Amino acid sequence: MKKSLSQKPARKSRSSHFEMTPAMQARMQKAMVSIGNIADKQARKDDKIQREARLAIAETFDAWLDWMEETAPEQVEEVFFELGCFATATNRRRMFKHAKAPEGVAERAQEQVDRWKAEEEATKADAAEDAQSKSGAAESHG
């Protein structure tokens, strides 16, 4: 014999319409302002920490360069070369005015940057050419 399954009682439909009272809206607004102020304060604190860290590196750089000139002079040129390769054009010009910047490293860094730009442009041109040939092939099959 089969047992009959008991049926679940029908659920009451919940009202999906929720309205915030003016007091709730005021509390929500106050909470959002408070959260915004806390986030802003933390962001400013983090920015200050990072500014101080960059300043500490900058203030130590000359002493480190002096030490590098004594222990591994070839590394000084490599440091300036690598920094120059990743700097903006403006910062690159400024950087190579440094008293410890070796002769010729500015030109070497600029040559590397130019090579990277040429490689990037060639890659983009190849990609555009490939896309053009694929779209041309798709049109001829269509």
Show pLDDT as tens, one digit a residue, over the chain (142 residues).
566 666 766 666 666 788 889 999 999 999 999 999 999 999 999 999 999 999 999 999 999 999 999 999 889 999 999 999 999 999 999 999 999 999 999 999 999 999 999 999 999 998 888 888 877 776 666 5
Residue 80: in which H helix or E strand, if any? helix 73-86
Report if residue 105 sits inside a domain.
Answer: yes
How far is the C-alpha of 92 from the C-alpha of 110, rounded, in Å? 9
Number of domains, the chain: 2
- Specify whether 76 is located in the same domain as 129: yes
pTM of the model: 0.61
- Specify whether 59 is located in the same domain as 77: no
- Specify whether 88 is located in the same domain as 122: yes
- Specify whether 54 is located in the same domain as 101: no
What's the CA angle centered on 23, arms 20 and 26, to 5 degrees? 95
How far is the C-alpha of 89 from the C-alpha of 85, rounded, in Å? 9
Nearest partner of 111 among 132, 78, 81, judged by Cα: 81
How far is the C-alpha of 136 from the C-alpha of 128, rounded, in Å? 12
Nearest partner of 83 among 123, 110, 46, judged by Cα: 110
Domain boundary (71, 90, 125) is at: 71
Residue 88, domain extent:
72-133
Report if residue 10 sits inside a domain.
Answer: no
